[in-house]
Amino acid sequence: MKHSKRPVNRRTFLRTSLGAAAVGPLAGMAWKPYTGRGGRAEILRVAAIGVGGMGWTDLRQVASHPAVEIAGLCDVDSNNLGRAEELFPDAEPFRDWRELFDKHGNSFDAVTISTPDHMHAPIAMTALMANKSVYCQKPLTHTIYESRRLREVASRKPIVATQMGTQNASRDGKLQALAMLKAGAIGELQAIHGWSDRPAGWWPQGQDRPAGSSPVPDYLDWDGWVGVAPMRPYKADAYAPFKWRGIRAFGCGALGDMACHICDTPIQAFKLYTPTSAICEATDATEDMFPSKERVVIEFKGVKASGNKPVKLYWTDGGRMPTPQELNIRADYSLKQNTVAVIGSKATLLIQPEAGTPLLFRDGDPVDDLKLPDVPKQNHWHQWVDAAFYGNPTQSSFGFAGRMCETLCLGSLASRFPNQMLAYDAKKMSFPDFPEADKFVRTDYREGWAVDGLST
Ligand SMILES: NC(=O)c1ccc[n+]([C@@H]2O[C@H](COP(=O)([O-])OP(=O)(O)OC[C@H]3O[C@@H](n4cnc5c(N)ncnc54)[C@H](O)[C@@H]3O)[C@@H](O)[C@H]2O)c1
């Protein structure tokens, strides 16, 4: 494909449009040439895969780091690709990510992945196997097995920096909440409640597979979009863009979409990494789609912070939410959507990902004179770029994200068997009392789409 050559002063444009607000985690440290983990060059050459939707933000945020060169662009939608080419005329454009790796693999050090969920792991694994650093959108994966494999392979690649795209995890409020939980602000951990209003009419759930088909628009490579999933006919306004989220073949439903953003802080603070069971209450789950609303209860093995007693995460979506009393908060308090409440023996902490400041409640009332911990200013995207140079830890590395998303994939899987308690053996990644569920731990990739590291 030919790409346009427009004289854009990329660095100036990006620094003024995005970079001004971005402060790296190593603020105060002078930027040095790229001699860190890779030690190959002075610039981190990034290929961006999926550049519409959230990918458009990821592309510009990563590019606003002064040490980044956008070396490749890839999208199955030629309109989205064309828009990115206009901004980065020197980057090599591709419609097929496999070709990007095969033909252009020596020309980039790192990738961003902002495609629909079912393609995250295939592309991320291919990148890891090629020793590329990876910034991958949330949820990290589509299945339990993919989460486990990405975590395992990333752990054997100290040369690469990894980050899941939960950008709020690096915002002040979430970092403050994390520090407070780690410092024991709530006493002994008792329970976690997370909730979201999604799908909230933004995308369909609780329906049968969309019937009929439409002609594939000439700008879209539908075969590439379906990728590793079973082929189905294209239908306008049913899948691409954005509406694929509630469909099991492509997305992870409201829980998969939102719990990464909402529940990550307590899961990380308390290292809740061993889920032992999940149950989903829902009435309209279908074979093709996640339910329109649900309550999912995931139990974890006890951790030090819970006095080694098992801990339950109660998740509700589709508008269902807990009452303040269930959270040990006074009855007339007005709870907001998309929040997590972490309940302890001494207090409850409310964390609202986008609202910022965490709220601590003692004896049902908010603590007014709460002294919030100091946290360094972070930019999630730049933190990842810096990690490729300096090896600093990232907030949502695959080491953490793989663990959390394995649990969230378990929660999503439970909606296939409403009201069925699924005991989970994390060591074996299986359901000893309910083997029918085992076949959903991983999915077979479509013929011709085998992925090294995931298809064996
Ligand atoms: N972190 C956040 O706040 C946030 C917000 C929105 C979306 N997301 C995540 O970003 C991802 C994308 O979501 P979206 O809403 O932007 O979806 P979208 O459907 O709007 O956009 C996906 C983009 O990827 C392209 N694409 C699809 N398949 C591809 C493939 N095989 N190779 C290359 N490009 C491909 C599409 O053409 C499109 O440009 C999802 O995983 C979603 O969960 C994160």
Q: How far is the centre of ligand 1, averaged over its atoms, from the C-alpha of 436 (Å)?
A: 31
Q: 363 to each of 333, 334, 345, how far by Cα in Å? A: 13, 16, 10
Q: Give the model's pLDDT for residue 17.
A: 32
pLDDT in tens, 146-190: 999 999 999 999 889 999 999 999 999 999 999 999 999 999 999
Distance separating alpha carbons of residues 19 and 68, to the nearest angstrom: 12
Q: How far is the centre of ligand 1, averaged over its atoms, from the C-alpha of 352 (Å)?
A: 24
Q: Give the model's pLDDT for residue 90.
A: 96
- Determine whether the shortest distance from the Cβ of 52 to ligand 1 is under 6 A: yes
- Determine whether the shortest distance from the Cβ of 61 to ligand 1 is under 6 A: no
Q: For residue 134, list its beta bridge partners.
A: 111, 162
- In a 10 Å sphere around its CB, with 0-12 CB exposed, 13-18 middle and 19+ buried, how is residue 409 labelled? buried
Q: Give the model's pLDDT for residue 333.
A: 95
H/E stretch holding 69: strand 68-74
Q: Give the model's pLDDT for residue 1.
A: 31
CB 294 within 8 A of CB 306: no
- Determine whether the shortest distance from the Cβ of 56 to ligand 1 is under 6 A: no
Q: How far is the centre of ligand 1, averaged over its atoms, from the C-alpha of 423 (Å)?
A: 32
- Minimal CA–CA distance to 64: which of 13, 134, 27? 13
Residue nearest to ligand 1 atom 43, measured at CA = 138
H/E stretch holding 321: none
CB 232 within 8 A of CB 249: yes
Instruction: Specify the 3-state DSSP secondary structure of 341.
Output: strand
Instruction: Calculate the CA dihedral of residues 106, 109, 115, 118 and round it to 10 degrees.
Output: 80
Q: Give the model's pLDDT for residue 88.
A: 97
Q: Give the model's pLDDT for residue 356.
A: 78
Q: How far is the centre of ligand 1, averaged over its atoms, from the C-alpha of 120 (Å)?
A: 10
Q: How far is the centre of ligand 1, averaged over its atoms, from the C-alpha of 221 (Å)?
A: 15
H/E stretch holding 281: strand 275-281
DSSP summary character for residue 411: H
pLDDT in tens, 4-23: 322 223 333 333 333 333 33
CB 433 within 8 A of CB 277: no
- The segments of the chain whose pLDDT lies below 70 read 1-41, 353, 355
Instruction: Specify the 3-state DSSP secondary structure of 415.
Output: coil
CB 125 within 8 A of CB 402: no
Model pTM score: 0.93
Domain ranges of the chain: 10-169+379-404
Q: 391 to each of 22, 40, 330, how far by Cα in Å? A: 19, 14, 45
Specify the CATH number for 10-169+379-404; select among 3.90.1170.50, 3.40.190.10, 3.40.50.720, 3.20.20.10. 3.40.50.720
Q: How far is the centre of ligand 1, averaged over its atoms, from the C-alpha of 422 (Å)?
A: 31
Q: Give the model's pLDDT for residue 355.
A: 61
- Determine whether the shortest distance from the Cβ of 197 to ligand 1 is under 6 A: no
Mutate to test the pocket of ligand 1, among 56, 57, 113, 114 (most ligand atoms within 8 A of CB): 114
- Determine whether the shortest distance from the Cβ of 199 to ligand 1 is under 6 A: no
Angle between helices 172-182 and 253-269 (to 10 degrees): 50
CB 56 within 8 A of CB 84: yes
Outline where 194-252 has alpha helix (H): 222-226
pLDDT in tens, 336-372: 999 999 999 999 999 986 767 999 999 999 999 999 9
Distance separating alpha carbons of residues 191 and 313, to the nearest angstrom: 6
- Determine whether the shortest distance from the Cβ of 58 to ligand 1 is under 6 A: no
- Determine whether the shortest distance from the Cβ of 114 to ligand 1 is under 6 A: yes
Tokens of 225: 């979009």
Look-up of token digits 């959230």: 54
Mutate to test the pocket of ligand 1, among 117, 126, 137, 239 (most ligand atoms within 8 A of CB): 137
- Minimal CA–CA distance to 27: which of 356, 355, 392? 392
